């Protein structure tokens, strides 16, 4: 096979995040690829009316890294970060058009945090670093202080910022998924949802592992847009020798037919839903996503992560990023806010 390209623009990495040397089969044991059908062959769903879909996403941004010294002389890392989560609603879709897509402005949350690794600093003084509030015109940006335990590096704070965003996303997805008239899509695996509704699907843009074996993988390049693989069941991880929970139903689908110069796995995405669902319900979700996602897939002209990054999501991300505020302005406000007390101390 000649060499072929992968679709994303390289500064965004690639959708292919798996380890080629790793065992194809996941740590929880081999998935059951026969739960839905006996034959591992493409499924072409016939979905007449596409349901409305709610897609949850978030953005985050590290505004400034900081450092402090604990009384005992150990360095304390700090991170000013912002994140926002929201959802976009699209559909229901008819043959050619749908209801206008809408960003659910009322559900958007913008949060600001000051994460710090103040290991013991507050324990010693009994005083946590204060929240920092900066004024931007009439608006006030409150960076709430939050201690990150077991953080010994600055990168751990960045990871915590990301996790905070994911937590908020999960929370929002849980709330939204109570509306069962719509399909709720979540960016990434469903693990973080504690009590998802019955119509929640996680879509995984970056494939970390394939779960299925090499033989099954050969089906993927042959899928066409709108087709999916049969469901397979991924058992839950074993905790203390017994499986915790019901595991997940998962499937692959093709979001877009790509040009010949792209690798045929390039337009493939993995999706999953709760393993606690009745099989028929899970299959219906799979069918709906197979019909829906090619429609929402982005064009390489407007998105560097095309086709995986869905068009409504790109618009939501742009909106959320906009709501985080101007990066340079916030950086400048932080600088001012921190400089003022320091200067006062110097001149005192």
Partner 1 sequence: MTRDPRSPRNRRSDRDHAGPGDEGPRHDDAHRGLVLGTEDAAASPLGFSVLVDPERYLELDDVVHVRTALPDGRAIDVFGVVDEVTARQEGVTLTSDVALTNEGVLPAQTVVAAHVAVTRVEPEIFVPPMPGRPVSLAQGALRSTALYFDAMQERLPLGLARSGEPVHGNLEFLDGTRGAHVNISGVSGVATKTSYATFLLYALFEGGVLGDRAANARALIFNVKGEDLLFLDRPNRRLAADRDARAAYETLGLPAGAFGSVAFFAPARRGELPLPDTGSRQEGVAAFCWTLREFCERSLIQFLFVDGDHDRSQVGYVVDAVEARLRRIARLSTPGSADVEIDGVAVTTFDELVDAIESHVDPDSELADRWNGTGSGSASVGTVRAFMRRLRAAAPHVGHLVRGEAFVRKAAATGHAIALDRQVTVVDIHRLHDRAQRFVVGAVLREQLEARESRAGAERPPPLFVVIDELNKYAPREGESPIKGVLLDIAERGRSLGVILIGAQQTASEVEPRIIANSAFRVVGRLDTAEAQRGEYRFLGAAMRERAGLLKPGSMIVAQPEIPVPLLVQFPHPSWATRKQEVGEAATNGTGTPDAAAVVERRFAAPAAGGARRFED
CA–CA gap between residue 224 and residue 208 (Å, rounded): 22
Answer yes or no whether residue 181 interacts with partner 1 by CB under 8 A. no
Q: Which of 202, 181, 175 is nearest to 51 (CA)?
A: 181
CA–CA gap between residue 54 and residue 178 (Å, rounded): 11
Rounded to a whole number of angstroms, the minimum distance from the CB of residue 20 to partner 1 is: 34
Rounded to a whole number of angstroms, the minimum distance from the CB of residue 265 to partner 1 is: 24
Answer yes or no whether residue 328 interacts with partner 1 by CB under 8 A. no
Asked whether the beta carbons of 81 and 161 are under 8 A apart, the reply is: yes
CB under 8 Å to 65, separation ≥6 — which residues? 77, 78, 79, 80, 154, 157
Answer yes or no whether residue 206 interacts with partner 1 by CB under 8 A. no
Which single residue is written with the structure tokens 């976009």? 88
Question: Which two three-digit tokens encode residue 239?
Answer: 């905790």
Rounded to a whole number of angstroms, the minimum distance from the CB of residue 316 to partner 1 is: 7
Of 121, 166, 234, 316, the residue at the interface with partner 1 (CB under 8 A) is 316
Answer yes or no whether residue 302 interacts with partner 1 by CB under 8 A. yes
Output 79 or 87, the one with its CB closest to partner 1: 87
Answer yes or no whether residue 26 interacts with partner 1 by CB under 8 A. no
Using a 10 angstrom Cβ sphere, with 0-12 exposed, 13-18 middle and 19 or more buried, the burial of residue 274 is buried
Element (H, E) at 38: none
Rounded to a whole number of angstroms, the minimum distance from the CB of residue 115 to partner 1 is: 31
Rounded to a whole number of angstroms, the minimum distance from the CB of residue 90 to partner 1 is: 6
Please name every residue paired with 243 in a beta bridge, in sequence order, or none if there are none: 238
Give how far Cα 53 sits from Cα of 112, 168, 322, Å: 28, 19, 23
Helix orientation angle between 279-296 and 311-324, rounded to the nearest 10 degrees: 80
Answer yes or no whether residue 295 interacts with partner 1 by CB under 8 A. yes
Rounded to a whole number of angstroms, the minimum distance from the CB of residue 103 to partner 1 is: 5
Stretch that binds partner 1, among 113-121, 197-205, 217-225, 315-323 (CB under 8 A): 315-323
Count of CB atoms situated within 10 Å of the CB of 129:
18
Binding residues for partner 1 restricted to 71-110, rule: CB under 8 A: 88, 90-91, 93, 96-103
Rounded to a whole number of angstroms, the minimum distance from the CB of residue 63 to partner 1 is: 22
Size of interface with partner 1, in residues (CB under 8 A): 23
Going by their DSSP bridges, the two strands 200-204 and 183-187 should be labelled as parallel
Rounded to a whole number of angstroms, the minimum distance from the CB of residue 98 to partner 1 is: 3
CA–CA gap between residue 114 and residue 227 (Å, rounded): 45
Answer yes or no whether residue 319 interacts with partner 1 by CB under 8 A. yes
Output 108 or 243, the one with its CB closest to partner 1: 108
Of 312, 320, 325, 334, the residue at the interface with partner 1 (CB under 8 A) is 312
CA–CA gap between residue 32 and residue 282 (Å, rounded): 15
Output 163 or 299, the one with its CB closest to partner 1: 299
Answer yes or no whether residue 311 interacts with partner 1 by CB under 8 A. yes
Of 301, 328, 342, 346, the residue at the interface with partner 1 (CB under 8 A) is 301
Asked whether the beta carbons of 190 and 272 are under 8 A apart, the reply is: yes
Q: Which of 200, 213, 209 is nearest to 275 (CA)?
A: 200
Output 277 or 296, the one with its CB closest to partner 1: 296
Binding flags for partner 1, 229-268, as an x/- string (CB under 8 A): ----------------------------------------
Asked whether the beta carbons of 128 and 122 are under 8 A apart, the reply is: yes
CA–CA gap between residue 35 and residue 229 (Å, rounded): 12
Binding residues (CB under 8 A) for partner 1: these are: 88, 90-91, 93, 96-103, 295-296, 299, 301-302, 311-312, 315-316, 318-319
């Amino acid at each position: 096979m000649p060499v072929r390209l992968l679709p994303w623009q390289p500064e965004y990495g690639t959708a292919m995040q798996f380890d080629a040397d790793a065992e194809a089969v996941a740590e929880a044991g081999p998935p059951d690829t026969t739960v839905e059908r006996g034959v591992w062959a493409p499924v072409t769903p016939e979905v007449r009316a596409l349901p409305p879909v709610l897609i949850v996403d978030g953005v985050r941004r590290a505004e400034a890294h900081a450092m402090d010294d604990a009384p005992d002389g150990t360095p304390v890392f700090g991170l000013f970060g912002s994140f926002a989560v929201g959802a976009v609603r699209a559909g229901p879709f008819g043959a050619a058009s749908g209801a206008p897509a809408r960003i659910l402005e009322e559900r958007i949350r913008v949060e600001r945090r000051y994460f710090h690794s103040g290991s013991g600093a507050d324990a010693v003084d009994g005083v946590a670093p204060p929240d920092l509030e900066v004024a931007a015109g009439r608006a006030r940006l409150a960076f709430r202080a939050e201690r990150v335990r077991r953080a010994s590096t600055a990168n751990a704070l960045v990871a915590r910022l990301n996790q905070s965003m994911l937590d908020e996303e999960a929370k929002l997805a849980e709330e939204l998924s109570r509306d069962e008239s719509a399909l709720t899509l979540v960016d990434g695996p469903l693990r973080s949802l504690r009590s998802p509704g019955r119509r929640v699907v996680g879509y995984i843009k970056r494939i970390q592992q394939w779960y299925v074996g090499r033989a099954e993988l050969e089906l993927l390049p042959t899928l066409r847009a709108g087709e999916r693989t049969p469901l397979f069941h991924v058992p839950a991880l074993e905790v203390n020798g017994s499986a915790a929970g019901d595991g997940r139903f998962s499937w692959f689908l093709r979001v877009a037919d790509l040009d010949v110069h792209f690798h045929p796995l390039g337009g493939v995405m993995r999706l999953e839903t709760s393993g606690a669902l009745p099989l028929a319900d899970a299959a219906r979700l799979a069918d709906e996503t197979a019909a829906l996602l090619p429609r929402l897939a982005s064009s390489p002209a407007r998105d560097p992560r095309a086709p995986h990054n869905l068009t409504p999501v790109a618009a939501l991300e742009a909106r959320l990023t906009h709501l985080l505020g101007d990066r340079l302005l916030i950086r400048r406000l932080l600088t001012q806010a921190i400089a003022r007390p320091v200067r006062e101390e110097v001149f005192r």
